């Protein structure tokens, strides 16, 4: 019987969060944290040095790059790598996009530790892990969703998607820039690109669209 432990990498820009997850994971007999970082590019460098990583726990929002962007580079290096998003961002908004980006699961940081451990083990098996509520929502959307609307949303880049979400949550460009650690000019560029891709005439239309989209995501 093999006694080797699954190797886990943590990618989260909050050191205390990484420390807490590492303590939780290292208590398990079959799991071991082998590397951790708060930077996306450093994560790629660590993967080059340690190709034995079995699973990466990845946050959606990092200081230098979106988790949705870094996952593509990770899979380019290690196509079979399992990725589980662990984030404070609402599962109802981000989980489907995480799966489309190549992750096998999504867990919110508010969940109990045992949920995280269960999710890690499921993803290591190659299974998809979402909450029961999100599983039902995904299946319902597949059955009844609007393909044209989904195609428009999926045309957004990860950064544009984040900005759309924050607009719908009521944040101004200044607030979004601070939250994402970006310049206001960059945020305004994202807003313009979102309007163009979603065929919206002006900023007011964008706010109405984003607000309605958030409401539909949370209360379908």
pLDDT at 149 over 70: no
What's the pLDDT at 145?
A: 55
Q: What angle do CA 109, 114, 116 make, to 5 degrees?
A: 45
pLDDT at 1: 36
- Whether 102 has a pLDDT exceeding 80, the answer reads yes
Residue 220's pLDDT is 46
pTM: 0.68
Q: What sign results for the dihedral spanned by CA atoms 80, 37, 122, 92?
A: negative
Region 55-66: mean pLDDT is 87
Provide the pLDDT for residue 96: 79
Q: Report the mean per-residue pLDDT for the chain.
A: 85
More confident residue, 147 or 155: 155
For the cut 70, the answer to whether the pLDDT of residue 85 exceeds it is yes
Q: What is the model's pLDDT at position 215?
A: 65
């Amino acid at each position: 019987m093999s006694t080797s432990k699954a190797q886990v990498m943590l990618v989260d820009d909050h050191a205390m969060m990484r420390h807490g997850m590492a303590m939780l994971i290292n208590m398990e007999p079959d799991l071991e944290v082998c590397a951790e970082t708060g930077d996306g590019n450093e994560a790629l460098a660590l993967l080059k040095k340690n190709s034995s990583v079995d699973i990466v726990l990845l946050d959606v929002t990092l200081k230098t790059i979106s988790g949705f962007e870094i996952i593509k580079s990770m899979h380019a290096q290690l196509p079979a790598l399992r990725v589980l998003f662990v984030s404070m961002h609402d599962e109802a908004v981000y989980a489907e996009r995480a799966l489309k980006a190549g992750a096998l699961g999504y867990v919110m940081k508010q969940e109990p530790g045992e949920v995280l451990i269960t999710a890690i083990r499921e993803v290591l098996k190659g299974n998809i892990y979402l909450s029961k509520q999100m599983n039902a929502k995904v299946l319902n959307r597949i059955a009844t969703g609007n393909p044209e609307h989904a195609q428009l949303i999926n045309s957004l880049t990860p950064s544009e998607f984040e900005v759309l979400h924050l607009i719908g949550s009521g944040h101004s460009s200044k607030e979004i820039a601070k939250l994402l650690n970006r310049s206001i000019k960059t945020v305004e560029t994202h807003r313009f690109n979102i309007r163009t891709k979603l065929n919206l005439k002006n900023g007011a239309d964008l706010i109405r669209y984003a607000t309605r989209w958030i409401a539909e995501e949370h209360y379908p």
